[in-house]
Amino acid sequence: MSKLRVAILFGGPSSEHEISCASASGVLGAIDRSKYDVIPVGITKAGNWTLAADDAAKWALRKGNLAVVEDEGNSVAFATDGSRELILTDATGSRSLGFVDVAFPVLHGPYGEDGQVQRELEAVGVAYVGNGVLASERGMDKELSKDAFLAAGISATPHVVLTEDSWMRDPESALEKIRGLGPMPIFVKPARAGSSKGVSKVKNLDQLGDALEVAFAEDNKIVIERGLSVREIEFAVLESRDGSRPRVSLPGEIVVKTREFYDFDAKYQDEDSVDLVVPAVIEPSLLAELQKAAADAFVALGCEGLARADFFVTADGFFVNELNTMPGFTQLSMYPALWKSSGLSYPDLIDELIALAIQRSKRLP
Ligand SMILES: Nc1ncnc2c1ncn2[C@@H]1O[C@H](COP(=O)(O)OP(=O)(O)O)[C@@H](O)[C@H]1O
Ligand SMILES: [Mg+2]
């Protein structure tokens, strides 16, 4: 059987560029080379698609050394005639890199995880791993996703939404809305970012100005939430192959030991400050409720392929915090770790995701 040709897209213009490189390192290292020919496509911070090194070690995350896709003096693009041919152009001219069966956008944050790259891939007729345009857009936007969860009867964290315009125009009404959330602390976050970029915990109103500044630096729309005392429980969700309910993994828990919350450094720079517990210990009836809510949330956003469903469990209930439509994929990341503990190895997980992408492309007109 001939091998499938998979273009792995990573990097990209979002502030999660380096994390995407690390995720791609995981995929490049785990994908079964006996089944797939791999074409690594790095996307620079400026948005240029370039043929990148097929080298898992080069893109791996190391303390104090975050890999970045550099402009290699070439650009790659899909042919616009629907042929799925990938074409490389450099100083010497253009040549074909062959035809691609599936693209795997291992991209986090705006552009790669919010529907934009998905829209581009649809325009050139290339099947791709993971969520479609709409679910990606909703999943990226904390306002839209909370609306979708609440409409489906899944409890979401109490919150208010603020645009930069409305804050500048009428700070008094904004403050009134914020006070309505109840006593401090509150969490201030950009509506469309990730990896905790721009997220602050605000313990008193004196800290609000700084928090708004860092959040508005990421996005002109922000979400402010009641700060809860929580266990952070996550599930890996995978679309089913037969159209039935999505598959949900065992639970994982993020235990933050020495930091205020699960911030960027805790995620990527100061791993000793957190424990990723897989599987997490949860009382069986609560676990069943959470797993059901994870599948419901996946359906509510209209997800396809995969998502990681993140919950806040409090003393008297739980809230869905967010769905990540392209979760971290490094060798140490929660998503592949959850599947591994649930009996699906990292290479088998990649097989599943690629099979789901091809299955979906065959359903399309
Ligand atoms: N309402 C909240 N109550 C308590 N902790 C929170 C709350 N919102 C966010 N956090 C903390 O901040 C982290 C990042 O917030 P999150 O909404 O998940 O942003 P991101 O999309 O960047 O991951 C969470 O993992 C959690 O540790
Ligand atoms: Mg999060």
Three-state secondary structure along 2-46? CCEEEEEEEECCCCCHHHHHHHHHHHHHHCCCCCEEEEEEEECCC
Is any atom of ligand 1 closer than 6 Å to the C-beta of 189? yes
**pLDDT given for residue 64 in this prediction:** 67
Q: How far apart are CA 277 and CA 78, in angstroms?
A: 41
- Expressed in angstroms and rounded, the spacing between residue 2 Cα and the centre of ligand 1 is 44
Give the right CATH number for 4-129 from 3.40.50.1860, 3.40.50.20, 3.90.870.10, 1.20.20.10.
Answer: 3.40.50.20
**pLDDT given for residue 313 in this prediction:** 98
Q: What is the pLDDT of residues 248-294, one digit of tens each?
A: 999 999 999 999 999 988 887 888 899 999 999 999 999 999 999 99
Is any atom of ligand 1 closer than 6 Å to the C-beta of 261? yes
Q: What percent of the chain has pLDDT over 70?
A: 99
Ligand 1 atom nearest 157 alpha carbon: 1
CATH 3.30.1490.20 residue ranges of the chain are: 159-226
Is any atom of ligand 1 closer than 6 Å to the C-beta of 84? no
CATH architecture assignment, domain 137-155+228-325: 2-Layer Sandwich (3.30)
* CATH H-level, domain 159-226: superfamily: ATP-grasp fold, A domain (3.30.1490.20)
Is any atom of ligand 1 closer than 6 Å to the C-beta of 311? no
51-72: b (≥16 Cβ within 10 Å) or e: bbeeebeebbbeeeeebebeee
Ligand 1 atom nearest 256 alpha carbon: 27
Ligand 1 atom nearest 228 alpha carbon: 3
pLDDT confidence band for 364 (50 / 70 / 90)? low
- Expressed in angstroms and rounded, the spacing between residue 279 Cα and the centre of ligand 2 is 18
The pLDDT of residue 365 is above 80 = no
Q: What is the pLDDT of residues 143-161, one digit of tens each?
A: 999 999 999 999 999 999 9
CATH 3.30.470.20 residue ranges of the chain are: 137-155+228-325
Q: What is the mean pLDDT of the chain?
A: 95
Q: How far apart are CA 73 and CA 68, in angstroms?
A: 15
State pTM to two decimals. 0.95
Are the beta carbons of 300 and 286 closer than 8 angstroms?
Answer: no
Q: What is the pLDDT of residues 108-129, one digit of tens each?
A: 999 999 999 999 999 999 999 9
Is any atom of ligand 1 closer than 6 Å to the C-beta of 187? yes
CATH 3.40.50.20 residue ranges of the chain are: 4-129
Residue 273, burial from CB neighbour count under 10 angstroms (0-12, 13-18, 19+):
middle
